[in-house]
Structure 1
Amino acid sequence: MKFARLLDGKKETYGIVKGDRVASREEIVYSTGVPLPTRLGGFLFEGWLAEVNDRLDGLEYERGLSEYGIMAPIAEPPKIFCLAFNYADHAQDQDRSPPDEPVIVMKPRTALCGNGDDIVMPPFVKELDYEVELALIIGKRCRDVDVIGAKEAIFGYTILNDVSARDIQFRDGQFTRAKGLDTFAPCGPWITSADEVQDPGRLKMTTKVNGRARQDSSTSKMHIKPFEIVSKLSSSMTLEKGDIISTGTPSGVALNNPDSEYLAAGDEIEMEIEGLGVLRNTVRGTRE
């Protein structure tokens, strides 16, 4: 199933997406008679989905997806991890080898934005870059899990654009500010449950900017694979329900690439990962 966090007018809600139709929280409540929580995170991670799961076949998907705004699927994740150098070709573009242990950057949750939202480029950023990434959504609290336990801990998958201000990155000598600015983590458009993704390590992934292909690759090129990433991270810290783990990007970003350009105000970015939908955002500049 695909679960979206939605904006209905000015009211936040959520629903199950099927094609271009939605079974909203309100429809699910009416159909099942179960008084569901108002937030998607509570529905997914606190037992409510399991409560109604065997009663969802009768849903009619009464409304069109286009009637809603689509928000970042997790409102307040405890942690947002982004892996660096996890694709050999992207690492080699920076004269590095992919490491055997996760090299992580933490993004603040204030960086999140949803499908259709603007990526806001502050005036002090001159080299704005894009990175399509497969993101894992943790569905159960875990610590020191093996690869099998890691697979069971993943609730589902989504797309994350690890937006990066390269000039800030190299000026600071580290990544946190360059990747942590507001709107620098577009995410979505929804969460696809793990049972619908046969092999997260073999998904086609693309980025287009203004209709032109920039990244065209596959998650098969990851160095540390998804379940192994979760296992390795859990050996260092407790993973919590709603954590987002973004697994790195392949080559094709603007950094060190003579065939690509950094983003500018007005650029339209379209990222797609096989089976997970399309994440669309537009860059908006701010005045000096």
Structure 2
Amino acid sequence: MRLGTARVDGATRAVVVAERSVVPLPFADVGELLGHPTWRDIAESALAGAPDMPADLDLAPVVPRPSKVVCCGHNYAGHIREMGRPVPQHPTLFAKFADTLTGPSDVVTVPDWAEGLDWEAELAAVVGAPLHRATRAEAAAAIAGWTAANDLSVRSWQRHTGQWLPGKSFDRTTPLGPVLVTADELDPGAGLALTCRVNGEVVQRGDTADLVFDAAALLSYISSFTALAPGDVVLTGTPAGVGAAETPPRSLADGDLVEVDLEGVGVLRTPIRIETTRRDADPGPAKEVPHE
């Protein structure tokens, strides 16, 4: 089953995306739907008799308002090698805010002082049941399904300190979608092709079987220290081929089109806009503070 969140008349609406139809659901978005304990039955029943909607929908992020967005870095063996890092013993985690998410075809705009905008194609897991200190088996059973993400990263701001938050959290810079494919229909552990293209050129070509920590391991680990709720999103990392690893490093430019293609899920198509602005947002080097 394929679920999505559509923009309709100034609001959002959860939908079931069938082969030849799109069926509305009585929920504002997929996250709200997943909060209902019988969400799967509700969606399947809607397919049987609900009126269709136009197929050419304006899709929002598949989960627009998760309570948590948790991301894993350095999680593909090939990417770890290209960055010259050791294989981690524990997941390298960081968080995003919900308003970093944007739709699967939305324009991503960053100011021109946000230098080094880079692509990161990712598989994302969406939580379908509450998780707290879950075992691996419990975490696997709680995955509602899978979607694609592009963790667009402003490298210059990511490197201000050892904490990645600023470069990973610019507003509306994380496309998520186009749909959620339920876990019973797709198995990333068996290997799904994950590809990123910039203006038609393939820059990343990965396989989800190359993950060091798979989604079940990540959700179990994360739930050990913070509870996860239905609709929460976990980005599982990016394969080799990011622009920062090229010599010289490569960045996205105004007018570029970035496509993330996840086998079995669909394609994110993201036009890039670099906005000229006079604002000097970079605080520059910290002033030296004398010892007391």
Please indicate, yes or no, whether the TM-score normalized by the shorter chain is above 0.5.
yes
Measured against aligned partners, the alpha-carbon deviations of 1:226-281 in whole angstroms (never above 9, x if no partner) come to 21111122222211221110000010110121387310111101111110111111
The yes-or-no answer on 1:264 pairing with 2:253 is: yes
> Which residue matches 1:28?
none
Give ranges in structure 2 of 5+ residues lacking alignment: 278-292
The yes-or-no answer on 1:58 pairing with 2:53 is: no
What letter is aligned with 2:186?
V
Partners of 1:23 and 1:259 lie apart in 2 by 48
Measured against aligned partners, the alpha-carbon deviations of 1:138-168 in whole angstroms (never above 9, x if no partner) come to 1111112111101111111111111111111
Partners of 2:18 and 2:172 lie apart in 1 by 27
Partners of 1:40 and 1:228 lie apart in 2 by 24
> Which residue matches 1:42?
32
> Which residue matches 2:11?
11
* Ranges of 4+ aligned residues in structure 1 off by more than 4 Å: none
Change (3 A) 1:16 1:259: farther
CA contact (8 A) 1:18 1:61 kept: no
CA contact (8 A) 1:141 1:238 kept: yes
Change (3 A) 1:99 1:41: same
Q: What is the CA RMSD across the aligned residues, in angstroms?
A: 1.9
The yes-or-no answer on 1:164 pairing with 2:145 is: no
1:98-247 matches, cutoff 5 A: 98-247=87-236
What letter is aligned with 1:41?
G
CA contact (8 A) 2:109 2:274 kept: yes
Measured against aligned partners, the alpha-carbon deviations of 1:21-67 in whole angstroms (never above 9, x if no partner) come to 31123xxxxxxxxxx3344322222135245355345247733421x
1:12 deviation in Å?
Answer: 2.0
Partners of 1:260 and 1:208 lie apart in 2 by 16
Q: Secondary structure in 1 aligned to 2:160?
A: helix
Partners of 1:280 and 1:117 lie apart in 2 by 8
Change (3 A) 1:134 1:218: same
Measured against aligned partners, the alpha-carbon deviations of 1:208-237 in whole angstroms (never above 9, x if no partner) come to 110110101101111111211111222222
The yes-or-no answer on 1:77 pairing with 2:66 is: yes
Partners of 1:10 and 1:157 lie apart in 2 by 26
Partners of 1:207 and 1:281 lie apart in 2 by 11
CA contact (8 A) 1:147 1:228 kept: yes
Partners of 1:209 and 1:57 lie apart in 2 by 36
Percent of residue pairs identical: 28
1:188 deviation in Å?
Answer: 0.6
Partners of 1:39 and 1:169 lie apart in 2 by 31
> Which residue matches 2:285?
none
Q: Secondary structure in 1 aligned to 2:221?
A: helix
Residue range with higher mean Cα deviation, 138-147 or 211-220 = 138-147
CA contact (8 A) 2:29 2:63 kept: no
Partners of 2:225 and 2:46 lie apart in 1 by 38
Change (3 A) 1:74 1:120: same
Partners of 1:286 and 1:236 lie apart in 2 by 39
Partners of 1:152 and 1:6 lie apart in 2 by 27
What letter is aligned with 1:65?
A
Change (3 A) 1:213 1:61: farther
Change (3 A) 1:39 1:90: closer
Change (3 A) 1:149 1:161: same
Q: Secondary structure in 2 aligned to 1:167?
A: helix
Measured against aligned partners, the alpha-carbon deviations of 1:160-187 in whole angstroms (never above 9, x if no partner) come to 1111111111233321000000122111
